[in-house]
Amino acid sequence: MSILIKGGRVVTAESDYVADVYVEGEKIVAIGSNLPYTAERVIDASGKLVFPGGIDPHVHLDMPFMGTFSSDDYETGTRAAMHGGTTMVIDFILQTQGDTLRNALTTWQAKSRGKAIGDYSYHMAVTDFNDDVAKEVVEMITQEGITSFKTFMAYKGALMIDDGQMVQLMKVVKENGGLVTVHATNGDMIDSLIAKNQALGNRAPIYHYLSQPEVTEAEASGRFADMLHYTGCPGYIVHMTCEGALNAVRKATSRNQKVFVETCTQYLVLDASLYEQDFDGAKWVMSPPLREKKDQAALWSGINQGLVQVVGTDHCPFMWDQKKMGMDDFAKIPNGHPAIEHRMELLFSEGVNKGRITLNKFVEVSSTNAAKIFGMYPRKGVIAIGADADLVVFDPEKEHTISVDSHHMNVDYSAYEGWKLKGKTETVLLRGQVAIENEQCHLKAGSGQFIPRGKTSLTV
Amino acid sequence: MSILIKGGRVVTAESDYVADVYVEGEKIVAIGSNLPYTAERVIDASGKLVFPGGIDPHVHLDMPFMGTFSSDDYETGTRAAMHGGTTMVIDFILQTQGDTLRNALTTWQAKSRGKAIGDYSYHMAVTDFNDDVAKEVVEMITQEGITSFKTFMAYKGALMIDDGQMVQLMKVVKENGGLVTVHATNGDMIDSLIAKNQALGNRAPIYHYLSQPEVTEAEASGRFADMLHYTGCPGYIVHMTCEGALNAVRKATSRNQKVFVETCTQYLVLDASLYEQDFDGAKWVMSPPLREKKDQAALWSGINQGLVQVVGTDHCPFMWDQKKMGMDDFAKIPNGHPAIEHRMELLFSEGVNKGRITLNKFVEVSSTNAAKIFGMYPRKGVIAIGADADLVVFDPEKEHTISVDSHHMNVDYSAYEGWKLKGKTETVLLRGQVAIENEQCHLKAGSGQFIPRGKTSLTV
Amino acid sequence: MSILIKGGRVVTAESDYVADVYVEGEKIVAIGSNLPYTAERVIDASGKLVFPGGIDPHVHLDMPFMGTFSSDDYETGTRAAMHGGTTMVIDFILQTQGDTLRNALTTWQAKSRGKAIGDYSYHMAVTDFNDDVAKEVVEMITQEGITSFKTFMAYKGALMIDDGQMVQLMKVVKENGGLVTVHATNGDMIDSLIAKNQALGNRAPIYHYLSQPEVTEAEASGRFADMLHYTGCPGYIVHMTCEGALNAVRKATSRNQKVFVETCTQYLVLDASLYEQDFDGAKWVMSPPLREKKDQAALWSGINQGLVQVVGTDHCPFMWDQKKMGMDDFAKIPNGHPAIEHRMELLFSEGVNKGRITLNKFVEVSSTNAAKIFGMYPRKGVIAIGADADLVVFDPEKEHTISVDSHHMNVDYSAYEGWKLKGKTETVLLRGQVAIENEQCHLKAGSGQFIPRGKTSLTV
Amino acid sequence: MSILIKGGRVVTAESDYVADVYVEGEKIVAIGSNLPYTAERVIDASGKLVFPGGIDPHVHLDMPFMGTFSSDDYETGTRAAMHGGTTMVIDFILQTQGDTLRNALTTWQAKSRGKAIGDYSYHMAVTDFNDDVAKEVVEMITQEGITSFKTFMAYKGALMIDDGQMVQLMKVVKENGGLVTVHATNGDMIDSLIAKNQALGNRAPIYHYLSQPEVTEAEASGRFADMLHYTGCPGYIVHMTCEGALNAVRKATSRNQKVFVETCTQYLVLDASLYEQDFDGAKWVMSPPLREKKDQAALWSGINQGLVQVVGTDHCPFMWDQKKMGMDDFAKIPNGHPAIEHRMELLFSEGVNKGRITLNKFVEVSSTNAAKIFGMYPRKGVIAIGADADLVVFDPEKEHTISVDSHHMNVDYSAYEGWKLKGKTETVLLRGQVAIENEQCHLKAGSGQFIPRGKTSLTV
């Protein structure tokens, strides 16, 4: 199959020019002005943007959490992502404490195999570290193409490892060319604040927010950076929400250190005033919680300063009935919100259209940097000769409204209901196949492939 | 004229892949795998790197300084640059205090017209600011395509403006979409330290170094950032040399500010121990002077952290006889050293080969960022459809030795005599014309064009 | 003459206990419980505080400024100070640019001789530095007991020296055991902002404030600290007003540096909202101007953290008719406000009574530290055996209201009109003589002595 | 009993003058020049310093640790302290995890009752926090005069509480006017580094040092400061050793926070090069370990900047045979070293004599601040009317050599063997009784009293 995308405005992390893009099979073969190719399929992209398929490196599909499962599985989740221009996701495998990484991998392979519509990879969450696990870490990197290891500084007794395990894990990961990623919040503090609020009879969703103050994230982010510096391991902080945490990373730079940082769309465009409503605030109960306007400003600025490299979603949707598990206790509200579908469009509309970031930066943080940091470059994240033809044709002028009625995620509310955006995904290619066209998904479950990953290609 | 560069490893600020590059006239027309074009000229680039022509945004050609002139004029300077893969330079026009910007422009146009071999632009150095000059600033931006305004915080009585003039200039420049650049050292402190050393009979070149301690640069860099923050103007610090100054910029980021920073090759690879010899140290007498090993580390790290965007040269060569003007007084040694030719090769050999920066970063700091910051993007700095075909075919394996005997700059010593490098410019195209081939320059004086510039395309 | 102050609560920078204080001649001879002395005069201090006479190290008496003179001379000024419990002041001698320090000293000796009621010393403001002045600096320290040298980073053409002169002055002062003090604001920036506001027809007092934004003080404070660090000279920043400047000093501490800092009562208790009235705001036109609430918080905290050692006043009163010189141009309003009289009472009422500082800290910042920093310790600033019997008996419960109708300063408005304070000076002794009693001053003009000073006795 | 100390140079945290000090019963009654008292005992102090008895707020007497007990009990420990001019100590009660504070108090009362020669108090180490313990905390403050609560961020499973317990403890302590103190090192990291070194067969004492890198202390100090800031509780970091930890506290000051800091004599005068010997390095195995020269400089500077308020010892001696328990495993060397006796003399000789601190600062950090911070002021820590007559007559000229042969601590080696000091304790009074004279201790076991404590009297 060959496809010629004609006359679009090709936008990459670096460039921006009008050209044709010619695809053969799964790969991009040529880019040029009036390319002399005859293709089986021609897509007119004039007046449209053409950029690399988005990569969301932070999603939770079919994830067991708080006694239930996130409501999008690999099929519904990657399909919704595709609708929004995200052609690849990285999900999280959770090791069961006491069990092996291998068993966890097997479990997650079963969740994804034959189901994913978009491409995917896994981060391996190490929730229990010891000498045996250390050996498995090496195995994951060298044999399975899983090179990023997620850690939790929160959720003691379920997911958290302590700082001693952390530094030992970092040493192994460093020696083997991997990357340690982290949920950086002080779990002990949070647990104690939650318990106190519960004891006081504080039940509303806002207490979720009040139990995770900025300091819990700022502190843990600094601590993680300290441990990285001590071990020399490359690291990546997921879902950073606030100025305090960003300052912790900024401070680390003065010792010639670089820590990768991801924020998520919601932390850039929403704030904690949403918790001031009654139980409706449960829609945005996630960890860390939404923060303040000043934090949004710090994060946008951090993106332009190069301190924040990636914008993900931490997509982890729950049906409203699931959210209601916490009707009488904020601590029982399943954490997470639906976001996988509109990441690119929100970032475009709120970021590019409002002059906060350039078009190049938009591509960089929504796709290219994730590919580079997580070892999928030059296959993914770029419009380049030989790269996978994961391409988005995007209409920058098209206005639309987000709604539960029109979204494709398997969840019965929208976190952005009624938001009017300008700029919409029109056509999406996944490895040379038309995935989305006319708001329809043309790929079947199983079209998505597992993408083995290598070393990060950014210097720390 | 059409040229097909076949099978090279195309490297941009973002991408890295094997492809053909097809050029027609002055522009890049297509990039692809086995491109189906017949060209008048085919260049085999297999096993070679192909990257965008370098841009050196900090050179001084035919510059009047300290009673003499820098020894490279536009012809010899841009030719030498071309030999090293730098296809464009930005020189500095110096307003004479009391005179107009317009007159200064006319003077510099005369220096460059019909002489330049490579493309060029000018920064306008504002050395005397008042309401009339304010009007000329607007004129330069809107009519002449000169959008960057150089200021000096040193050289009182000749080039320096005071902080009051600075903030007023910033206001005008900001309103009109320009950029203020700065030589950020505390001139008053330096003048007083020089005078003191002269009074004490200290004559050797090392006193040049001792009269410009790190604090003089760190202080002024922080002050400049403060003034930028107050006025909201975008700014760019030229030739940053040290950790202290970098920390001043780093500190500014915590108020959500971004300041562009340039360092120069010499500050990354040379250090102040060179001044410990006798008068031979005069070869490296420049301002600011070379610093310490810890400063090199900070700068390399700053590049990877995104705090330093550009690597220039501050090329300002003087013949040995000119340097000897300061035989009896370090303060009379003309400031500057020859560097324009080997910037790219030094950065490749010391940076990429030693694992300090990636290949992408190499292109980014030697070409792309300068084009973007100084408003020449997307015409310059990229390998992209429609961009000027300024291209370098580079042999990453070729070993060579820097020497006055083989360099092309008009100066009778080398600052890097005997340095062995790996990686050499092989073929250079300037707007689709073969400029360098077989170590010969095929372009004549006058081939270079003045490139009018617009707004910076990076968000601050 | 002997005096026994019985049963007071003796408060020093360190201690707090009930005791008698016995004075013979000019000195404190004994402190104890029920001291067995018979004195010519017994003062019952039961229920009262007894603390060392206040020292205000920042006053301008009979000062030529902006074409007029501050309205308090040595007699009225030191008398008013005495009423408020301040027994000693340090005034500023201003060198005329181009003239000698010696001549300036002579001028100021004429102003004070035979007039002062309280003790006094001078800071020597060096407004023009060269090799001759360097010799006079040594002379002042070794022969005149004037060991602190004031510099101005503002008021170019009148008082300002440049950074080159500053570092040379610092070297001389350091070698001779003195101290450099500074008015740390960026004069060039301020002059340019004033000129711009004048050009725009902005006339109201608030433009005085808007022409001296926080950055002008933060920047200059950091620059001064940098120069101190470079030269190794001890230094003291007068009238610090804001968080930004305090942070500049805080940052300096991380290189193991200590810079002394003075704030003034007004910056602790007033804020810039006072400028929002019409011309009435002229009452508080001073340089630097009043700041924000967040700056007050930072300064109180700085006092408790040990970063701010001294609270002075910058007393520089002008009659309302003098202030009116600036009716049509904020820049012509004489800078300064009346404050010398109520410093101690304001600090007690707003600081101690409101729990912001301890009683010990109150004494430390209003008296003891000034004595130590400025080389008058152990003669001044303490209640200690052998020290000058400069003592205040203070009624902590007495409520009173500040008003132009009752104050003793020679100025026809009060900057704190109607403020209700709790805590009032009752009796004051100056070197063993009763100076204030029953709200009357019992000392005549000329009672005050010039106090020669030595080295600072605090380690930097 | 009355005592007249005649003609000494009385030195306090603030003052310095020649005077007599008259003592009646347990209290200081008068201070003055040629006091007219007849005393039962006259001590000639001419040429000598007279300062307040030292307070060492960090000692471990008869402490169970690592399967043994520190070798000084209350009798030998407080006697040795007295010989060195320290009249009071604060020891640590260790709650047994799972047991009550009350039981721990009872145990420690048994250790001290009838044995102490000097005065003493206890910090209560909370090693297990829950709602019941919360109630006991209130009881300790209100009924027992124990107002400081020690926490450990290290020694998991024995002494450590987690961050959640920490913030809850802070809330209770804050509400009740107490103070939380902390051993601030990252225990999890340290445990893991120890385990790794053990696994690698690294046995020598230097691995104790290498298992507690600076980052483990810097990180935990910052984390503790964060938790204090969040809760608003006053806090105190014990035995700070390094620049990194000091910087963490310095950073906290910029949010208007004050954290009290203690360092110990050894961290000011010894460094980690002592571990480079073979097992002899075990003499200085303590936690945290000795650090580098740059850390000494930072700590001395921190004292002068007011960031470090107290110099204690962490006295915790073990006999050489006890130390040998770790002959084959550095992790089994009992942690601690003998220091209680020479704290004042070392600080005087290394600090005052070498010009690093003033005499006033010497008194402030060795006595006064401890009294104020720990709520014993104005009874202790000062030479003031009504204060306990805990006084040291000190000969500043007397040279002596530290040796195990002459020291009074119950330990068979000296950590400072052969050190020559200038300045020696001559006579010591404890509450008006002669405790030390002619190098003999005149007090019997049981002379020391438990001193109930109140709130801190320094503003945070």
Is-cis flag, bond preceding A452, omega within 30?
no
Q: Assign D65 a pLDDT band (cuts: 50, 70, 90).
A: confident
Q: Can you list the positions of beta strands (E) in A207-366?
A: 235-240, 260-264, 310-312
Nearest to D258, CA basis, from D125, D122, D369: D369
Write out chain C residues lying below 8 Å of D36, CB-based. Answer: 36-37
Tokens of B60: 């001084």
ipTM over 0.90: yes
Nearest to B180, CA basis, from B238, B121, B130, B222: B238
- Give the chain B residue nearest C220 (alpha carbons): B223
* Distance to chain A for B191, nearest Cα, Å: 30
Write out chain C residues lying below 8 Å of D38, CB-based. Answer: none
The per-residue pLDDT for C66 is 84
Flag residues of chain C having pLDDT under 70. Answer: none
User: CB–CB of D167 and A189 under 8 A?
Assistant: yes
Sequential DSSP letters for B77-90: HHHHHHHTTEEEEE
User: CB–CB of C227 and B218 under 8 A?
Assistant: no
User: CB–CB of D192 and A218 under 8 A?
Assistant: no
Which residue from B165, B213, B218 is facing C192, i.e. has the nearest CB? B165
* Distance to chain D for A11, nearest Cα, Å: 42
* Spatial distance between the Cα atoms of A247 and A236, rounded to a whole number of angstroms: 15
User: CB–CB of A193 and D163 under 8 A?
Assistant: no
**Which residue type does A272 have?**
A
Could you tell me if A175 and A312 are in contact, meaning their C-beta atoms sit under 8 angstroms apart? no
Residue B397: burial class (beta carbons within 10 Å; 0-12, 13-18, 19+): exposed
Which residue from D163, D168, D219 is facing A226, i.e. has the nearest CB? D219
Write out chain B residues lying below 8 Å of A382, CB-based. Answer: 14-15
Tell me whether B210 touches chain C (CB under 8 Å): no
**Whether pLDDT at D70 is above 80:** yes
The per-residue pLDDT for C459 is 80
Tokens of C115: 């007039």
Cα R_g (chain B), whole angstroms: 21
Tell me whether D227 touches chain A (CB under 8 Å): yes
Which residue from A168, A189, A195 is facing D192, i.e. has the nearest CB? A168
Instruction: Summarize pLDDT for B333-391 with one digit per residue, the tens.
Output: 999 999 999 999 999 999 999 999 999 999 999 999 999 999 999 999 999 999 999 99
User: CB–CB of D22 and C37 under 8 A?
Assistant: no
Average pLDDT over residues D66-72: 92
Could you tell me if B95 and B137 are in contact, meaning their C-beta atoms sit under 8 angstroms apart? no
Tell me whether B371 touches chain A (CB under 8 Å): no
Domains observed in chain B: 2-51+383-398+422-441 (2.30.40.10), 54-373 (3.20.20.140)
Write out chain A residues lying below 8 Å of D242, CB-based. Answer: none
The dihedrals phi and psi of C278, each to the nearest 5 degrees, come to -70, -135
The per-residue pLDDT for C22 is 98
Q: Identify the helix (H) or strand (E) that includes residue C21.
A: strand C16-24
**Whether pLDDT at D80 is above 90:** yes
The per-residue pLDDT for A100 is 98
- Give the chain D residue nearest A194 (alpha carbons): D164
Q: Assign D459 a pLDDT band (cuts: 50, 70, 90).
A: confident
Tell me whether D189 touches chain A (CB under 8 Å): yes
Contacts of C193 (CB under 8 A, 6+ apart): B164, B167, C210, C211, C212, C213
Pairing outcome for strands C148-152 and C119-125: parallel
Instruction: Summarize pLDDT for B222-259 with one digit per residue, the tens.
Output: 999 999 999 999 999 999 999 999 999 999 999 999 99
- Give the chain C residue nearest B230 (alpha carbons): C215
Helix (H, G, I), strand (E, B) or coil at C199: helix
Sequential DSSP letters for D179-200: EEEEE-S-HHHHHHHHHHHHHT
The per-residue pLDDT for D227 is 98
Mean pLDDT, rounded, of chain D: 97
Flag residues of chain A having pLDDT under 50. Answer: none
The per-residue pLDDT for A459 is 80
Tell me whether B304 touches chain A (CB under 8 Å): yes
Tokens of C106: 């002579």
Tell me whether B232 touches chain C (CB under 8 Å): no
Which residue from D164, D195, D218 is facing A191, i.e. has the nearest CB? D164
Q: Which strands form D235-240's sheet, in the order they lie side by side? A: D54-59, D86-94, D119-125, D148-152, D179-183, D235-240, D260-264, D310-312
What's the pTM? 0.96
**Which residue type does C401 have?**
T
Write out chain D residues lying below 8 Å of A196, CB-based. Answer: 168
* Spatial distance between the Cα atoms of B314 and B77, rounded to a whole number of angstroms: 12
Q: Identify the helix (H) or strand (E) that includes residue A131.
A: helix A131-139
The per-residue pLDDT for B149 is 98
The per-residue pLDDT for A86 is 98
Which residue from B17, B29, B36 is facing A386, i.e. has the nearest CB? B17
Sign of the four-CA dihedral A315, A318, A324, A325: negative
Contacts of A221 (CB under 8 A, 6+ apart): A184, A237, A240, A244, A245, A248, A249
The per-residue pLDDT for A458 is 85
Which residue from C15, C385, C460 is facing D384, i.e. has the nearest CB? C15
User: CB–CB of C189 and B213 under 8 A?
Assistant: no
Average pLDDT over residues B24-37: 97
* Distance to chain D for A137, nearest Cα, Å: 18
